[in-house]
Every structure is written in structure tokens, then in C-alpha cells.
Structure 1
């Protein structure tokens, strides 16, 4: 083999992502709430940042409302406004499922051991209120008898919300039925043995199995449908997640205007105090280096946020331009649109559009919509036009909504209805869209 040492010059292209670019891409990908969390985190770590909540207040309207709501008394000299109720000071106390159940057990006249067993059972429940772990494990762990465990479990099953402490769905529903005073042996048998048939809407099999009329079967099942399969969720302490629109589309004098939603947003700025330190020669180099580092970080964050706003606003304006019919007439008139088209129009990379769309919401005259809602595939029609998959889903929903509930439409029938309207769509596509909409098949939608 011949080995030679030589020098070669080659050209190649490499994309080097700087920290600034990486931060900018991450911030663009964030939702409005995620961005606020990021600002709060940076504020805690960076002393150069100043953050304030921007809230535009219509003071004229505010003062007018205060004057209109001011109570009127015959002798206002005795009225003290300082004693007026401040709704902001009213705190809503919320209890979790477990706190609620422990409190109820503490009010029962039971001995210390029984209370400890009840508390252990409560702590073993899942968030739906079920005791899904093996009861033998609890008996062995606490070294108690089966009868003592059953007695304590019965106590837990008497607590509110009704149905907690059940070991399965059937037991949960039966506990609720008995609590409501429903004493029906046949109904309890159906609940114990045939919930699967009910779930599959196989009413005829139930009528044959128990030799009852269809009307009686429907009446029994309607009782079951009034019960709560997840009683523990009533006391759920999960926090609600509120959607905040990033942009607002508003019609002003026959023209649609799109602008960023700045209300209740966190405004950040760089403190001038630290800028003065850099100019002052009496501070040592280590202090100045620290400030420079934090200043670079703060400046980078501000630039990334401004870049995010600019990109989102440009995307929103393109959506408005391409979906004029939607903003004028509503969901039925949404057109097919791809991120690739928007990227070409704005001279952006498609991945930038994807990040700018992710988790972003738009407030329109018809409500709040996610940016992604406006991007959909297209299907051909008989009129040389294209129909959006979103508008077709809306048609499927409306067609099913207006169907005869006793004779629901099959996917094939829906396909024929849409084909008659000039939309070429196959049965399997109808089935796919129906499943995406969370709509059951015709056999499961049937009502008796």
C-alpha cells in the first residue's frame, strides 16, 4: 500500500447554530404562557432585567362603572368605603379528593385502628376514586383480618363523592344506585355482568339475554348513563389551563386588522442602573465582566422576544390574507393551506413557520382558534375547486348531527351525501375523519 501525505482544499457548507440563534428558535416555539414562564425564570436569574405586567385600562369606563355601582344610602355620612367588600381578598378554599375524604372520616365515631385503616385505604385510591391495588396487599401490610378490612372499606364507600372506594366500575355504579335508593336486582345484574355490551350499544343482545322489551332495556340503560364513572374527578384539584391568544383579528370599518395581543403580557426592559456601573471606573473588572455577561443574556432575550413577535405577526397576516372567506363567513369557508406556501410567501424556512405556528392562538370574530387549525390538506370537488379537510370535517359533523338517531348514517352513506354535494371523498376517508373528530361508528351511535 502506498501512503502519501498531501494537503487538500475542499469546500463545504455547515450550519453553525449559535447560542443566540438557539435561544431565538426556542422562544419562537413557545406558547404565550410558556414565554411568560421563561421571562419569569430569566428575571429571577438576571438582576439586569426589570419586568412589569402590562395591562391597558380604560379609565373612563372604569370610573363610570364605579360611579354606577356605588351604593346609595339616605345618609351617606355613615357609610365607610373602607368596609366595602373587596372581591380580590376573597380566597376560594379548594380541597383535594384525599383531604376531603380524610376530613369526612375524622367525623365518624370509629376507634383509632379503624380510622388508620380507613386513612390508608383513602391514600391508596387513584385520582378517579377507585381502589385499584390488590386488597390482599393492604391486609398483609397492615396485618389485619379480611372482615376488618371489608368493614373499613364499607365506611370509605359511604363517603362523598358517592362511588369512591369501589374496586371496579360495576361496584362504583352499584354504590351510586343504592345511594340514590334505586333497588333493582335486574339493573344490578346488568351492571355487574354486561357493561361491555352496553358500551358497544348491543341492546338487542341484552333484551334477549334477560327476556325484556327494548323499551325496558333502554329505560334501565338510561339510568346507568346518569351515574358518574369517575367520582373522584369531582374533587380534582387540577389547575385549569387558560388559552391566551397571541394575536387578535378584528374588523374595523369593513377591513380586517391583525395585531399582537399585548394585554396582560410581561414587559421586560434592561435596568439603566447597571449600565452606569459599566461606565464607572471605580468598579473592579470581575464585577464589570459579570454585568457584561448578564447584559448579553438580557439583550439576547429581548431580541428573541421581538423576533418572535415579528414572525408570529407576519404568519398571522398571511393566514388572514389566505383565509379571507373564513373571517367573513365562518368555518365552512376555510380553504386548504400548507405551511410550505406561507414559508415561500414570507421567504422563511418551513421549520420557522412550524415553530411560529406551534401553540399559538388567534382571536377571531368567530372565537379563538389555534394557528394549526388554518392549515389543512385539500380534496377535489366537482366544480374545479379545492375543499379543505377542516371544512369537510365540519360537514361530516353537521350531517351526523342532523341524522335520524334511530337510523344513524353509515360512513358509506355520508360519503354518498358529500359526493352529491360535489365533494369526491371515499368511505375510508370519512371513517378516518370521523375517528379524528371522536365520533362513534353508526352502530354505536344508534339510539333505541
Structure 2
């Protein structure tokens, strides 16, 4: 047996992320509540850091009324001096929801940081129903990875609880739950994948004929489907009102809109003067080295928090510039916009924008909106975003004759009268995404 040993030199590229950059990305991705916890944790571990006490809590009800009035009176105070008034703690609450629950599970399954980043991006791209709202191709493009890697991590996310989470459509959601329940029936899966509409229209005989099934079998299949959850994400919703702390605030002052950060929700960090002076006077080299290390750590944290603020403010300012009609006239005037547009304008990578808007909220004269809300892909109509069309559809359906509900084709015609040209299939898709039944199911006697 011949063995040949060789010494080869190869050149390869590796992405090495420094601890400072890693902390910067983590802080950018944090919600306000997560950032506050991180700041308090760091202040307990690092004696050099000092946390400035917060001012009195803001009375948001008074503030919203002030913003709505368009007043620019600088003497106005959003702080409540009335002890019996509504303090922030009484109506702003934070509870672990769907995203935190899924991130906790995936953290126990994955060890690779690269896989973890992809899985977290998928989780952040889920809508409130638990469906994947972005395409795997878009996610791969944002992260700069292969789509196969995204599909691999999607299968991991879809294996999490609750069953059906991470599905890309209703059919996939139901099939995922069938597999979780140990039900393997090709006929049932084919019906779910191809003929849910026939089922919803109660055309059972047509289904029997198509699949050569007995009516008894169809009845059994229907009973099975009724046990499944079409929107697995809604189990995380709470019945009581849930109030959220805004990251940025858009208000009208002197006839124009301006955007500013909500500085009052995050503790302010400072570096202790005592340790600065101690560094100059300390004679022990080990003590000096310890203080230098802690000062460097504190400076990095403060720098990363300021960078987070600047990034969020820059993105919010660009949103205000591009969506001025929304802020002036309301939700029906939302325009198509994607993260790539903002990233190119500000010189960021698309993944930076995605991290910056994740779990962040904007308080506007029209209410509180997650910043992700403003990023809506354009339908065939170039002037109106998908969210605006959905809002118009909901209004039309809410005002329809309940005895003669509007069909999808009729809705197409009404939209066309408003200058919005989309197909019947798109109307059906939007209606399904909003959880609105078909005209035959909405009909009342």
C-alpha cells in the first residue's frame, strides 16, 4: 500500500465577526423591552456604567390627543402630574408572544450561528397568523445566502410548536398539522392542496367523483380538517388590549411632519466620573487594566446604542419622506415600498434594514404601526400598496348587502372604478389573507 503525504497551501475567504460588531447587530435587532433588559444587565456587570434615572412616565393618551390636534405648543407636557392619572405601567404591557416562543425553541435546536441567523430571519418574517409573509428567495437575498439554506431552516421552523407554524399558504399549514398528528393519507392531502375551494363551497359530490370516494369518507375528511387550526399564530393573541411602546414618533408641528426618537423609553447610560479619575490615580497595573477593559466595554455599548438610534431614525425619516400621503391622508394612501429601496438610499445592506425594523413601532397621527407595515410589495397597480387595497376591500365587504354579498369578480369591478386594476385571483388571495369568507359563505338569509 502506497501512502503519499503532501503539504498544500490553499487560499480561502472567511467572514470573521468581531465581538463589537456582533454586539452591534444584536442591539440593532432588539426591541425596546429587550434593550432595556440588556442595559440593566450590563450596568449590573460593569461598575463603570451608570444608568440615569427615568423622568416621570409619559401620559400617552394626552400625547396622542396632542399629536392629533396638530398643535405645536412647546409648553405642552406629555407628563402627568396627577397621581391618579394613567401612568405608563398601567397601559403599556409586554408579554412573550409568538416570536419569543419560537426563538426560544429554535435556540435549543441549532448550534451553528449561521443557521441561527437564517432561522431567526424566517421567524421575524412570519405574520400574526404564523404564516411566512416573505418568499424564501427574498430572505436569501437579504441575508446573502443560498435559497437552499433558507429552505432547510424553514423546515426546522415548521417543525416547531404550534404545528402549522411557518407555512407559506393555508394548504401547507393544514398538511403540516396532519403530519404532526400522524395522519398520512394521500387522498386527504390532495384534496387540501388542490380542492379546498370545492370543500368551502360544499361541492362534496364533485369531490367524490373526482377522487372516487364514498360520501362517508368525505365526511370523515371534513371532520379531520375541522380539528386543524388555519391560523396557528392566533393562539398567542390576548383578549385584552395590548399597548406597545413606540420607538419613533411622527407628529405635525408648524404645518409639517417631523419624526423623532422616543428617548424616554430607554435608560440613559453614562460612564462614571469616579472610575475615570481612579484610572489616573491608580498605582496598581492590574487595577488600571481592569478599569480600561470595563471603560472600553462601556464605550462600545454606548456607541452601539447610539448607532441603533441613528439607524432607526434614518430609516423612519426616509419612510416619512416616501409615505407622506399616508401621514397626510391615512392608510388608503400607502404606497408600495420595499426594504431594498431604503437600503440603497441610506447606503445600508438590506439585512441591516430588516434588523432595524424588527419589532420596532412608530406612533403616527393615524395610530401605532409596526415599522414593517410600511414595507409592502407592489401589486399590478403601481400606485397603491397591497395593505391599502386590503383596507379598501374590507370597507367594501363591510358595507355590502349581507343578503347579496359581493363576489370576487364584483369586487374587482368596484376596485377598477377606483382606478385599481387587479385580477380576481388577487382579490381572492387578499380576502383569504384577511380571513374573510367567500361571497357564498358570507350570504345571510
Answering whether residue 345 of structure 2 is matched by residue 345 of structure 1, we say yes
SS in 2 for 1:379: coil
2:275 alignment counterpart: 274
1:424 alignment counterpart: 421
SS in 1 for 2:419: coil
Partners of 1:375 and 1:9 lie apart in 2 by 44
Deviation at 1:265, TM superposition (A): 2.7
SS in 1 for 2:52: strand
Deviation at 1:32, TM superposition (A): 1.3
Deviation at 1:57, TM superposition (A): 8.8
Deviation at 1:88, TM superposition (A): 9.9
Map of 1:108-147 to 2, 5 A cutoff?
A: none
Partners of 2:246 and 2:84 lie apart in 1 by 29
Q: Contact between 2:245 and 2:265, CA under 8 Å: does it hold in 1?
A: no
Cα distance 1:60–1:398, how it changes in 2: closer, same or farther (>3 A)?
A: closer
The answer for unaligned runs of 5 or more in structure 2 is: 59-73, 91-199, 203-236
Map of 1:5-16 to 2, 5 A cutoff?
A: 10=11, 13-16=13-16
Cα distance 1:316–1:87, how it changes in 2: closer, same or farther (>3 A)?
A: closer
Q: Greater Rg, structure 1 or structure 2? A: 1
Q: Contact between 1:53 and 1:264, CA under 8 Å: does it hold in 2?
A: no
Deviation at 1:258, TM superposition (A): 1.1
2:434 alignment counterpart: 437
1:306 alignment counterpart: 306
For structure 1, which segment, 350-359 or 51-60, has the greater mean C-alpha deviation from structure 2 after superposition? 51-60
Partners of 1:237 and 1:52 lie apart in 2 by 34
Partners of 1:351 and 1:5 lie apart in 2 by 42
Partners of 1:65 and 1:56 lie apart in 2 by 8
Q: Deviations 1:88-122 (Å, cap 9, x if unpaired)?
A: 99x99xxxxxxxxxxxxxxxxxxxxxxxxxxxxxx
Deviation at 1:386, TM superposition (A): 2.8
SS in 2 for 1:394: helix
Q: How many residues align?
A: 284
SS in 2 for 1:242: coil
Cα distance 1:405–1:240, how it changes in 2: closer, same or farther (>3 A)?
A: closer
Map of 1:179-194 to 2, 5 A cutoff?
A: none
Partners of 2:76 and 2:253 lie apart in 1 by 21
Partners of 2:394 and 2:76 lie apart in 1 by 42
Partners of 2:302 and 2:359 lie apart in 1 by 20
Partners of 2:380 and 2:4 lie apart in 1 by 63
Q: Contact between 2:56 and 2:80, CA under 8 Å: does it hold in 1?
A: no
Partners of 1:366 and 1:269 lie apart in 2 by 36
Cα distance 1:33–1:242, how it changes in 2: closer, same or farther (>3 A)?
A: farther
Q: Contact between 1:379 and 1:424, CA under 8 Å: does it hold in 2?
A: no
The answer for unaligned runs of 5 or more in structure 1 is: 70-84, 93-199, 203-235
Answering whether residue 386 of structure 2 is matched by residue 389 of structure 1, we say yes
Q: TM-score, normalised by structure 1?
A: 0.56
1:227 alignment counterpart: none
Cα distance 1:35–1:405, how it changes in 2: closer, same or farther (>3 A)?
A: same
Deviation at 1:7, TM superposition (A): 6.7
Cα distance 1:60–1:376, how it changes in 2: closer, same or farther (>3 A)?
A: closer
CA RMSD of aligned residues (A): 3.6
Partners of 1:399 and 1:237 lie apart in 2 by 28
SS in 2 for 1:315: helix
Partners of 2:43 and 2:26 lie apart in 1 by 17
Partners of 1:410 and 1:359 lie apart in 2 by 36
1:293 alignment counterpart: 293
1:414 alignment counterpart: 411
Partners of 2:42 and 2:260 lie apart in 1 by 26
